[in-house]
Structure 1
Amino acid sequence: MAETKDGHDQPRRTDMPTDLTALPGRPLTGQVALVTGGVRRIGRAIALALAEAGADIVINARSSADEAEDVCRAARALGARAEVHLADVTREDDVERMRDHVLGRFGRLDVLVNNAAIRQQAALTEMSLHEWRSVLSVILDGAFLTSRAFLPAMVAQGYGRIVNIGGVSAHTGASQRAHVAAAKAGIEGFTRALAVEFAASGVTANCVVPGKIGGKRSATSGESFGIHDREVRPIVGREGRPEDVAAMVMTLCGSAGSYITGQSLHVNGGLFLT
């Protein structure tokens, strides 16, 4: 809480910090964004949307250096400063080194997008404890460690946007995806807790929940079951695009998102109706 001249506390601002150098159509000029798991599909689309809006971008990946650098080249072509930082978000020391690097390089972090995930599949009765924990670790431990690492800087500057990427299976269930559904349900609860704890510090936290997103899936995604089956179509008549999800993230990170926090926002074309 900020203190007024008469000694009373008042909430910190949650609107975007003013940057007089911002160009029309580039509302995030002067801001810095980190996207975990930012090399493919939704992560890539989010990173490029933020870059196009004027933010400087840090692309996090665990090991895909070439793909991450490809995203950076695309972001630089949009006029952003962009760089890669390889780190395993489940490792506390990796995340702390990433925090030190980002803050040392840019001096701030305004936007944190927790997108890193693995979506392996296994029948529940055949699922090992290692498989269960590995999925929960990337999705939940990763979001916890990165949020914990960067929140002090956001609180100190009185501004921040945290966007966690959820999953529709947390609401519908999915065959052979018990670990994924559990982790994605957990990230929504984590988001609400962040929103309550840090609202007075000028930090918003929201969860964007994609539905059936088309395009080539990563090697860790496996096949689709349940509501993601090919015969199940969103009521708008098409699968989603990664850019559809990125557009919602951009809304939350821009001035239009200043009064939105603690929410789970579904981007699914009516595949699942809340």
Structure 2
Amino acid sequence: MSETGARVALVTGAARNIGRSIAVGLAEDGHDVLLLVRTDGAEARRTADLVAEHGRRALVWTADVRDGDAVRAAVDRARTALGPVSVLVNNAAVRPEGDFLALTSQEWDEVVDTNLKGAFLCAQAVLPDMLDRGWGRIVNIAGVAAQAGAARRAHSVAAKAGLVGLTKALAHEYAASGVTVNAVSPGFVDTVREQVPAHLRKAPPPVGRPARVEEVAAAVRYLVGDGTASVTGHTLDVNGGSRMV
């Protein structure tokens, strides 16, 4: 616990949409929150204000999750200002589309390094404190495309599928240490975006509508609770029934 008695959560990509809803939901559950964003602008500050409305502390920190030194500095700052991070939500992601044969190595690396390497770096940065305390929760935000595939998104699908694999690997490694590692896999979510990906511009899922960001956040809130200590290595789908297994 932090000095205020709250657990401290680190949420990447927390400025808006799913990340904002997760941060606010965790604040509602009593967490102080480190909001890790690439750009400290009005959107990030709005998220911090919403966290504060629930009586919790919010620290906005600018860092590129692809930069290990920057990530470690963020975690160090959180430890000083809020307390050791005990909940990590790896939400930061980029999702461009592009024909596979036209993808450049630079385009591939930008997506894979953000979506997958960033989660690796963040997990490495927070795990020592979690292990010292014998308690921790890591939740990786994957996506239905990681499980079902999607055209024109080879880099994103590969990275998100790797995130599911990383979830299982870390769950095995730290299951006996009080640290659980799970994934949440959203389908089509009603978010503000420049363009809806082609694989989502199809018939609505069986529930008849996109998921709400609060529904994705609810899945995260469930997985980070004390009552889910035996849930690890699991991918929780929030896709409206678009993919059933």
TM-score (norm 1): 0.86
Tell me, yes or no, if the aligned pair for 2:86 and 2:126 is still in contact at 8 Å: no
Which stretches of structure 1, 4 residues or longer, exceed 6 Å deviation after superposition? none
Q: Give the aligned residue type for 1:243.
A: E
Which structure 2 residues correspond to residues 259-270 of structure 1 after superposition, within 5 A? 259-270=230-241
Which structure 2 residues correspond to residues 65-144 of structure 1 after superposition, within 5 A? 65-144=41-120
Distance 2:178 2:208 in 1: 39
Tell me, yes or no, if the aligned pair for 2:178 and 2:229 is still in contact at 8 Å: no
Distance 1:106 1:59 in 2: 12
Answer 1 or 2: which has greater helix percent.
Answer: 2
Distance 2:212 2:81 in 1: 32
Select the structure of larger CA radius of gyration: 1
SS at match of 1:110: strand
Q: Does 1:178 align with 2:148?
A: no
Tell me, yes or no, if the aligned pair for 1:48 and 1:74 is still in contact at 8 Å: yes
Q: Does 1:224 align with 2:197?
A: yes
Tell me, yes or no, if the aligned pair for 2:185 and 2:238 is still in contact at 8 Å: yes
2:212 corresponds, among 233, 236, 241, to 241
Tell me, yes or no, if the aligned pair for 2:18 and 2:213 is still in contact at 8 Å: yes
* Alignment coverage as a number of residue pairs: 244
Residue aligning to 1:7: none
Consecutive unaligned residues in structure 1, runs of 5 or more: 1-16, 22-28
Tell me, yes or no, if the aligned pair for 2:15 and 2:43 is still in contact at 8 Å: yes
Please provide the CA RMSD for this pair. Answer: 1.5
Of 148-157 and 171-180, more deviation after overlay is shown by 171-180
Distance 2:42 2:70 in 1: 19
Q: Give the aligned residue type for 1:114.
A: N
Counting aligned pairs with the same residue, the percent is 44
Distance 1:110 1:99 in 2: 11
TM-score (norm 2): 0.96
